[in-house]
Amino acid sequence: MRQWFKILTVAGLVTGAPAAALAQEEGEQPSLSAQDQAALATMNAAVVDGHVIPAFKAQAEAGAALATAADAFCKAPDAAGLDKLRLAFGAASDGWQKVQHLRFGPTELFMRSSRLMFWPDPRDSVGRQLADLLAKKDPALFAPAGLEQQSVSVQGLPALERLLYGDDATKLLAGDGEAKLRCAAVAGIAANVATVAAQALADWTGGSIDYEKLVKTAGPGNDIYRSASEATVELFKSLYLAVEVVADRKLSKPLGENAGAARPRLLEQWRSGRALRNVMLDLEAAKGLWDAGMGSAVRQRDGALAAEVDKALAEVLNAAGQVSPPLETALGDPARRPAVEALVAKATALKTLIAQKVAPALGIPLGFNALDGD
Amino acid sequence: MWNLTRRATLRLAAAAAAMLPFGARPRAEGHLWFGTRLDAQGGAHATAFDAEGRPVIDLPLPARGHGIAVSPDRKIAVVMGRRPGRFALALNLADGSVAAQFAPSEGCDFCGHAVFSADGRLLYATETDWEGERGLVGVYDAAAGFARVAAWESGGLDPHDVRLLPGDGRIVVANGGILTHPDAPGAKLNLEDMDSSLAVLSLADGSIERHFRLEPGLFQLSIRHLVVGRDGTVGFVMQYEGPAERLVPLGGLLRPDGTLQLLEMPRDGLADLRQYCGSAAADAAGETFGMTSPRGGSAAFFRFSDGGYLGSRGLSDVCAIAADPALAGGFYIAGGHGGIERVSPSVRAEVLQGDLARTALWDNHMALA
């Protein structure tokens, strides 16, 4: 944390002319009135209180429960214990999914997002790194001090998923040295997930970083957010990302060009069969953020637009509900595939609506250039 | 993906003639500004407008377009597909008809930018060779329907913008240095050890004559867009992939003698760029240039001669920028939330009117033709 603050305070890497020396020619940019900024500040606080903090609390609780379940399993590994542990893994995975769109501040400090969920992984870094680490046959490498020295790809949920659901998952129950080693890996990674999730929550809710306060005190004198609208930008990007992952990242490549070309192993968490649930959680997170305050802020400025977004959110959630699980086989099933394609189309339409219309309604400059630039 | 067929070419050509949704008129004498845009359904178009912002060419694209290369005789504009680009479309500027369509070679994708040789016979396009995990400059023969006649290594991953240096003997390539993968849309896979660089290539044989990197402390700056001044000074424009809280320079100059200089500007102006510049253009005289940040809705202007900061102008989601020959030190800028403006560092000279100027939503780049 000290390192992070150092970055904050020595941000003046660019020496150059002091701001006063050269007049900024920004006068004609439609700037927001004090009243607009106040409305955004109110919205920011409502979204942080009603959406962000509860999601990080839930993630931290699920992470702690996962660590507890892993320890319990490793004391007496059996099939029933493994089932329980898998449930705890699912809950922790859900916890991540509910914050994965909030990729600013605490989520991005210390590479937390990559350490919790290294995905996508087209070069199979998780598989290779985990295999290398297991081959060293040293349980200490998975203890906290050992694990944090390793690649981020083996520190989080994807590595845990391999251990719990991969082809070798039964080795956890063999009662031999390999089982002990794998248990140490499971327990160590679960403990790391718990720690990282707890740290993210701690940085949101107090301590030396206190990101909640940083967002709520946006304005002159705040190094990170010079105005409420700058903090709104983060929340807006989060709304966009929650939809964009569904529109562009999580489904399009697994779908392929046609049913015969589907590639279900490009789905997120295909081993544990969570891909469809994850997409649903992402869209619910978008709706959660919108309903927690952004929607009403837009409604005050443009009621018709807010209604349009409400409708699009309902439609995309409905489209996700129309996909018959499991998604892993729906992609290549001519009967079930159209529902997946319809979901992508609805998500794309909502993404476009958010980029083109919602940002201007909030008075922030982000459009498709800013959100999907190159 | 999108296959190049003669039938498709003809269909597009017919569409070009038919589709002028903004009430176009024939091309006026003088310049065109050629960009790409998205409609409300997210569909992409290649669109050129005249000095008053009236549409002259408007053509549907198979996917989002990106950079536009204009031939030296201003007869052809090549619209490159957005990264990972699967198409390039060469248009006749006289009538908007399709001169050629071409696709990247097997195993490669376009990276979004290209530039013509000084004689207009060759087109140099940045590409990624996925299997080889390397950046390329593909060389295309305009007279042969843009057949690829050579491919050179660009000197790094993720080559993006490419520009001709004065004298036609060399090009400069911005290697963004970010590793991506076709199976992982939107993912940047090497932010912890990315390696961006500027490479100067000989056009005689593609050899890398000079290769420049920023100091190690700035390794997470991705050099992506380029402009070239009258004296051959290269302006390079960057995006930062490091911690959100860190304020770093987003532009620099590479002098003909090989000296590198990072651009200084007031802290607030720099903070307004929000760690990201997405496009750049030199003015008509090659004395100044502008770089745009859609994230900040801000365009910042600099002198080539000493890197001096000249001022900033705001426009929501602004990225597209091209020179305005009618305004000293002036530019056309266009925004992703709509709007075309003629600006210079000191004035907002004109907000263009008309349907296109008011309603079209402009994508990353625009070229003066």
Q: What is the pLDDT of residue B29?
A: 53
Q: Nearest chain A Cα to B307, which residue? A: A16
Instruction: Mark yes or no for CB contact A17/B266 under 8 Å.
Output: yes
CA–CA separation, A60 and A201 (whole Å): 7
Q: What is the pLDDT of residue B307?
A: 98
Contact by Cβ (8 Å): A32, A40: yes
Q: Nearest chain B Cα to A356, which residue? A: B337
Buried b (16+ CB within 10 A) or exposed e, B97-106: bbbbbbbbee
CA–CA separation, B158 and B110 (whole Å): 10
Q: Nearest chain B Cα to A248, which residue? A: B185
Q: What is the pLDDT of residue A94?
A: 98
Q: Which residues of A touch B264 (CB under 8 A)?
A: 14-17
CA–CA separation, B3 and B20 (whole Å): 25
Continuous segment of H or E residues that includes residue B49: strand B44-49
Beta carbons within 10 angstroms of residue A59's beta carbon: 29
| Domain B6-368, CATH number (from 3.40.50.720, 3.30.300.20, 1.20.1250.20, 2.130.10.10) | 2.130.10.10
Contact by Cβ (8 Å): A51, B286: no
- A157-165 and A125-135 are packed helices; what angle lies between their axes, rounded to 10 degrees? 70
**CA neighbours closer than 13 Å in the CB half-sphere of residue B63:** 15
Q: Does B294 touch chain A (CB under 8 A)?
A: yes
Q: What is the pLDDT of residue A223?
A: 86
pTM of the model: 0.92
Count of residues for chain A? 374
Q: What is the mean pLDDT of chain A?
A: 92
Q: Alpha carbon B103 to chain centroid distance?
A: 18
Q: Nearest chain B Cα to A29, which residue? A: B314
Instruction: Mark yes or no for CB contact B294/A12 under 8 Å.
Output: no
Q: Does B225 touch chain A (CB under 8 A)?
A: no
List the single residue in A245, A351, A374 with the smallest CB-CB distance to B82: A374
- Local mean pLDDT, 10-residue blocks, chain B (369 residues): 36 43 46 96 96 96 97 97 97 96 97 97 98 96 98 98 93 97 93 96 98 96 98 98 93 97 96 96 98 97 98 97 96 97 93 95 98
Please provide residue A283's backbone torsions phi and psi, each rounded to the nearest 5 degrees. Answer: -70, -35
What does the block give as tokens for A188?
A: 């160590």
- What's the pLDDT tens digit per position in A144-198? 999 999 999 999 999 999 999 999 999 999 999 999 999 999 999 999 999 999 9
What's chain B's Rg over C-alpha atoms?
19
CA–CA separation, A287 and A318 (whole Å): 12
What one-character DSSP code corresponds to residue B28? Answer: P
Shortest distance, CA B82 to any CA of chain A (angstroms): 8
Contact by Cβ (8 Å): B133, B152: no
- Calculate the CA dihedral of residues A236, A241, A244, A248 and round it to 10 degrees: 150
What one-character DSSP code corresponds to residue A19? Answer: G
**Which among B81, B319, B186, B271 has a CA at the least distance from the CA of A370?**
B319
Contact by Cβ (8 Å): A164, A274: no
Contact by Cβ (8 Å): A217, A224: no
Q: Nearest chain A Cα to B315, which residue? A: A29
Which residues, at least 6 apart from B21, have a Cβ–Cβ distance to it below 8 Å?
Answer: B55, B58
ipTM: 0.90
What does the block give as tokens for B210?
A: 């000079």
Which residues, at least 6 apart from B145, have a Cβ–Cβ distance to it below 8 Å?
Answer: B100, B102
Q: What is the pLDDT of residue B22?
A: 46
Which residue type occupies B283?
D
Gap between the terminal Cα atoms of chain B: 30
Give one word for B136, left, alpha or beta, with left for phi > 0 and alpha for psi -120 to 50.
beta
- What's the pLDDT tens digit per position in A29-57? 457 899 999 999 999 999 999 999 999 99
Cis peptide leading into residue B104 (ω within 30°): no
**Which among B173, B203, B192, B191 has a CA at the least distance from the CA of B111?**
B173
Q: What is the pLDDT of residue B167?
A: 86
Query: SS3 for B122?
Result: strand
Q: Which residues of B touch A104 (CB under 8 A)?
A: 244
Instruction: Mark yes or no for CB contact B181/A120 under 8 Å.
Output: yes
**Which among B141, B120, B33 has a CA at the least distance from the CA of B76?**
B120
Between chain A and chain B, the number of residue pairs with CB atoms below 8 A apart is 192
Q: What is the pLDDT of residue A18?
A: 35
Domain ranges of chain B: 6-368
List the single residue in A4, A21, A368 with the smallest CB-CB distance to B38: A368
**Which among B225, B248, B111, B305 has a CA at the least distance from the CA of A13?**
B248
CA–CA separation, B301 and A25 (whole Å): 10
CA–CA separation, A310 and A294 (whole Å): 11
What one-character DSSP code corresponds to residue B245? Answer: T
Which residues, at least 6 apart from A239, have a Cβ–Cβ distance to it below 8 Å?
Answer: A101, A286, A289, A290, A294, A354, A358
What one-character DSSP code corresponds to residue B85? Answer: B
Q: What angle do CA A350, B88, B32 make, to 5 degrees?
A: 85
Q: In angstroms, what CA-CA distances link B113 with A223, B241, B330? A: 36, 21, 23
pLDDT band (50, 70, 90) for residue A217: very high
CA–CA separation, B48 and B56 (whole Å): 5
Please provide residue A120's backbone torsions phi and psi, each rounded to the nearest 5 degrees. Answer: -75, 160
Continuous segment of H or E residues that includes residue B127: strand B122-129
Q: Does B297 touch chain A (CB under 8 A)?
A: yes
Count of residues for chain B? 369
Q: Which residues of B touch A123 (CB under 8 A)?
A: 181, 189
